[in-house]
Chains A and B, each alone.
Chain A
């Protein structure tokens, strides 16, 4: 706790105060070797030494402060994690039973937040609020899991899906030797009496994805050519 206090005290506004303390420390160190003859130290040297030590002290103070921040954050996260773990079943229950009112739980949450406001830092609180907001929508759990209720599907619809998959795999699955519509159209174009440009050029909105990709590759290629020629 004492450390923390000191850490807190070292704010930029109390710089002068701090330097006093450092000076005191320095003088104490000098005092400890009083039985030996005092070495001759130039004023310049002593000044630099004093400054260095002061800087060091400041650095350590800052580091300590940061460490403390980190620790607090971790603690906070741990709390949240625990709370989430506790909350999850309630969430799922609520999803399943939409009649249960949402209001009381939300107000509860808010109350909890109010309580935590006291000891949390402002930055952290902001972050927490953000995560809570996200939580309400997509329910992100630890890791890459999300919770969502499935539409209840009957046996019949599963069977229907399986039957449709069967047809799909027999007609379009591996070994079915299928081509693309584009290929077919180009074949028709080649065999037809009046030949015209390929469909992807005639129809501007066709195969947008492929066109975008081609455009990108073309740009990259031009860029590469440019670099090599330079």
Chain B
């Protein structure tokens, strides 16, 4: 496996933002998640829950509700604006003010023609969905008190609105309120407080289900306006509700962090009349569950603890398969850390700012496993606050450490860094080429003479950098007509190749000497999550969201022998069952047969010279190998060397001096900074 000096970095204070809202698109199997900082993320549930797109947030945009209309995504926020997102260019397409104060909820009818908004001023506003925009149509009768939640009847003729202390049913045609359902307040001290109906659901049999701040899930008859059943599920709030497509199952999320399932079943065997019965309780969150989605096979929940949890319903999936395992998505599926290999610098990307750190140095040598004393401490060189309202979407640091760039949805900024002794100088490069305005990924060439920026329609802008100025060189365009954004960029060490991967799963290779497309790698059905080009052999290594590994020779334009062997034998089942994607690949300059890659829980060195593991062999065999006598080790060892010593990895890089940089962010650190959870009494504590 090799011995490395490891920089164990734990000063990246990455803090994910709380999940505020989510919406699931059943046709495309995409989940949209809105975070508290205004960022919107798209997860692809048909491809291993991969986070395929991230639309960065904005200071003023507090997204409170999300809604899909066909393949278009809308959000409503507390700033009182409706936003439609451009999912191809990863930015808001337009915003429309609703003029009703903060928007609490947004909901579309089944036909996808209308959007209903619930506003602070007590109006339900109807917007017509047109091809290019949304247009205000009318207001419903104004009510006293804010509209917190909305739900359309599947027929599109009625709307239920959750308010303070009551639920109103509106006729969507006339806009008049037809029913008023009074919701009981909580008992005891909370009697004097208004009860908030956080969520409502209107079913096709005219049943209305509500979840409120008194901890009740109530089932109402929408025709007569009478209460049918009350389930007191928590002492705190019921914050979210979601109903399955076939309306036979319902989940409610609470402040306790539990998700409670109700099912429409007959309470005694053999009886015809069905009713809603509380069936299961899931406890996967430590904090409030603010958003829920009920898919065909699973319950997806998210909240203040920032994790996205996919909990499969075991009556819908086959047991003991990968599909039936619980998924927790904690870290983003892209790298937030940039490493200058030659200079030993790290760039950390936050939504608000960038941090540049110099790694520490250690004294002397030690046995494997020893921790060396730190001679010079790591030092924060620069904290750069972004300009403007938009959050940072990507950043890059050149390998020599002399250039730094970041991008928001509206602009790109490039900085020149100069180090003399202990001083550091930072100067902004003032004149950037005009084409460099909206980019999705940034990457420097290995000799820091070029900057690559991925732009719209999967094109890549090449910019030449020198001391005085930066000049536009060329725009590399793929032959395919893909409109999807590029999410991965990799420039080869020798400066000859540039590899790009877009969300259409296409990987294009450009020849930088000729500034031309060299070839396109055969499209594989799963997303590439990491790409890299070997510095010596010029083989492209790709890891996909379904954990498959491919090696492609750029010279021969075909898969390599090793890759074919790997595909024929198949990857080990334990490797395929890992639930976090590989986010980065590097190579070991001392041993060209080594490929280093990492996900959240481990890093792995694949030794291409060793035999591949058979299905029956132990995959994680580092400990057993150590106990086996020397001559026998060779017989047992295989290509996958996995190290789990460092936990919750954000980045693993190999520096020029052959030391390994490992950026850790233990989940405990994140958890200790979360807002207050509810106070629960546990027996015998």
Contacts and interface: CB of A to CB of B under 8 A. Distances in A.
B80 A175 contact: no
Contacts of A191: 682, 685
B193 A163 contact: no
Given A157-B79, A181-B672, A171 B237 contact: yes
A162 to B, nearest CB: 8
B676 A187 contact: no
Given A157-B79, A172-B675, 5 more contacts: A156-B79, A172-B676, A175-B193, A179-B679, A199-B668
A187 B682 contact: yes
A164 interface: yes
B671 A185 contact: yes
Interface string B79-112: 1100000000000000001000110100000000
Nearest to B287: A184
Contacts of B288: 171
A125 to B, nearest CB: 38
A160 interface: yes
Interface residues of chain A: helix, strand, loop or mixed (majority)? helix
B435 to A, nearest CB: 34
Interface string B655-685: 0000000000000110111111111101001
A160 B80 CA distance: 8
Nearest to B77: A160
Nearest to B101: A159
Given A160-B80, A163-B120, A181 B673 contact: yes
Chain A's interface size range is 20 to 34
Given A187-B685, A191-B685, A199-B668, A177 B678 contact: yes
Contact of B78 (A163, A179, A180, A203): A163
Contacts of B322: none
Contacts of A175: 189-190, 193
Chain B's interface size range is 35 or more
A206 interface: yes
Contacts of A164: 62, 78
A203 B672 CA distance: 10
B219 interface: no
A199 B673 CA distance: 12
Given A160-B60, A163-B78, A171-B288, A199 B189 contact: no
8 contacts: A160-B79, A162-B102, A170-B213, A172-B676, A176-B236, A181-B671, A183-B679, A199-B668
Contacts of B589: none
Contacts of A184: 286, 677
Interface residues of chain B: helix, strand, loop or mixed (majority)? loop
B142 interface: no
Interface in A187-226: 187-188, 190-191, 199, 202-203, 206
B586 to A, nearest CB: 30
B206 interface: no
Interface in B30-83: 60, 62, 78-80
Contacts of B190: 175
Given A160-B79, A177-B678, A185 B60 contact: no
A86 interface: no
A170 B60 contact: no
A43 B568 CA distance: 130
A203 B102 contact: no
Contacts of B674: 181
B37 to A, nearest CB: 13
B678 A179 contact: yes
A49 B256 CA distance: 92
A156 B236 CA distance: 30
Contacts of B104: 163
B60 A157 contact: yes
Contacts of B235: 177
Interface string A148-183: 000000001101101110000011100111111111
Contact of B62 (A160, A162, A171, A206): A160
A163 B102 contact: yes
A178 B678 contact: yes
A152 B213 CA distance: 35
A185 B78 contact: no
B408 interface: no
Given A159-B102, A159-B120, A163-B120, A199 B672 contact: yes
Contact of A185 (B79, B80, B101, B672): B672
A67 B101 CA distance: 65
B307 interface: no
Interface string B245-257: 0000000000100
A206 B499 CA distance: 43
B196 interface: yes
Nearest to B189: A175
